Amino acid sequence: MKISENVPLSTLTTMRLGGPARYVIEVESNSDIEYAYNFAKSRALPTFIIGGGANTLAHDEGFNGVIIKNAMQGITEEEGVITAMGGTEWDAVVEYACKHEYTGIEALSKIPGLAGAAPVQNIGAYGQDISKVFVSASVYDSATGEFKTMSKDDFKFSYRKSVMNTTEKNRYFVISISLKLTTGRMERPFYNSIEKYIFDHNETVFTPMNVRKMVSAIRAEKLPDPKTTPSAGSFFKNIYITEEETFAVTQKGIPIHRGNDGIKINSGWLIEQAGLAGQVYNGIRVSDKAALVLINESAKSFSDLAATRDFIITTVFNKFGYRLEQEPIELVDQGQKIADLLSNG
C-alpha cells in the first residue's frame, strides 16, 4: 500500500487536467482496501475510485478527499471462466483470452483502462460488450463495509451503463471480475471498419488473435494512445434509436447502423458533418480521424474542456436535433460544488 499527498489529478487522468487530490492510496490487498476507507472515514473525507484514468475527467479545484487506486493485478482461469484482478490492464485480459483462443472480447482490444473499470461503464466496441460475457465481480461495499460477490443481474447493464456509474456511483470497489468465454470465432459480417480492413489487407483468418490484430491496427490508426497523447478515448456516446424512429432519421440523410446491440447513429458522423472534425477550440482538438475523440493540445483547465464540449453539443443539436451525451465521468469535489451553489444562490 502506498499513501501520497497533494497529487495533481492531471497525472492520474489521461486528459491531463485537474487540480490536486488531498490523498491518493494505492491498494494491493483486501486489508488495504479496508484501511483506505477507514483512513478516509476517520478524517471525514470523501472517497473516489480511479483506475487508469482514461474515462475520468478532473476539475480544476481538485479533490479534497481520498482517491483509491487499484493496484491488485493478476489473471487466473478455471473451466473457461477468466478472473482478472481489478488493477490488471484491460488489454492484458483480452490478450490472454485471445492467446487461449477464447472469443467474446477480442473486439475490445486496446481499450485503455483497468479490468476493474470495464464493467462499470459496460465497455464495448465493434458489436461486443463486456455484459455479454460477464459472470460476476468480487467487490467491497463501502456503504456496509462488507466484501461480497455481485452477479450480472446486480450490475443492471445497459449501453455504457451499470449501477456503478448510475444509481450506485462510487459505492463499490471492484476487486476482481470473472468472464465466461467460449472457444470459437466472431461471425461475419463484422462492423464496417473491420470489413474494410479485411478487404484492404486481404485477410482470410478470423481467429480471436487475428481479429485482435485487426482491431488493434484500426484503433492505432484512428485513436490516439492516451498514454502519450492527452485524451479520454471516445468522449461522446453513440445515439441509440428505436425501429420506429429509423424512418425520420434516414429522411434527414443520417446513416444508421444495425447491429446485435441495436440501432444507432454514429455520433462521430454527426460531429464530422457539423464541420467540427480537425478544429481546435480552447486548446482542445476534435480529432480528424475519429471525431468522437477530443485531444488536449494546450488546454490548461477543465473549463477549457467544458466550453469545447458544450460548443460541440450545441452545434450538433442545432444542425441535427440530437443531443450528444458525454461518456467520461467527472471527478467533482462535492464540498466545493456545494459551496459554489450556495455562493451563487
Per-residue pLDDT of the chain (345 residues; tens, 9 = 90+): 999 999 999 999 999 999 999 999 999 999 999 999 999 999 999 999 998 888 899 999 999 999 999 999 999 999 889 999 999 999 999 999 999 999 999 999 999 899 999 999 899 998 899 999 999 999 999 999 999 999 999 999 998 899 999 999 989 999 999 999 999 898 888 888 899 999 999 999 999 999 999 999 999 988 888 888 999 988 999 999 999 999 999 989 999 988 767 899 999 999 999 999 999 999 999 999 999 999 999 999 999 999 999 999 999 999 999 999 999 989 876 544 433 333 333
Q: What is the CA radius of gyration of the chain?
A: 20
The predicted structure's pLDDT at residue 226: 85
- Tell me if domain 75-183 and domain 236-326 are identical in fold: no
- 31 catalytic, yes or no? no
- 327 catalytic, yes or no? yes
Sign, Cα dihedral of 33, 38, 39, 41: positive
User: Coil, helix or strand for 88?
Assistant: coil
Nearest to 241 by CA among 185, 321, 316: 321
CB within 8 Å of 64: residues ≥ 6 apart: 22, 45, 46, 333, 335, 336
Sign, Cα dihedral of 79, 81, 82, 84: negative
Q: Which of 160, 212, 285, 309 is catalytic?
A: 160
The predicted structure's pLDDT at residue 137: 98
Per the structure block, which three cell numbers stand in for 120? Answer: 462499470
Whether the Cβ atoms of residue 74 and residue 92 lie closer than 8 Å to each other: no
Q: Which of 231, 234, 267, 287 is catalytic?
A: 234
CA distance 96 to 93: 5
CATH of region 2-70 = 3.30.43.10
The predicted structure's pLDDT at residue 333: 63
- Considering only the top CATH level, what class is 75-183? alpha beta
CB within 8 Å of 271: residues ≥ 6 apart: 236, 277, 286, 291, 292, 312, 316, 324
CATH entry 3.60.15.10 includes domain 236-326? no
CA distance 51 to 328: 13
CB within 8 Å of 244: residues ≥ 6 apart: none
- 160 catalytic, yes or no? yes
Q: Which of 61, 95, 106, 327 is catalytic?
A: 327
The predicted structure's pLDDT at residue 336: 43
The residues spanned by each domain of the chain are 2-70, 75-183, 236-326
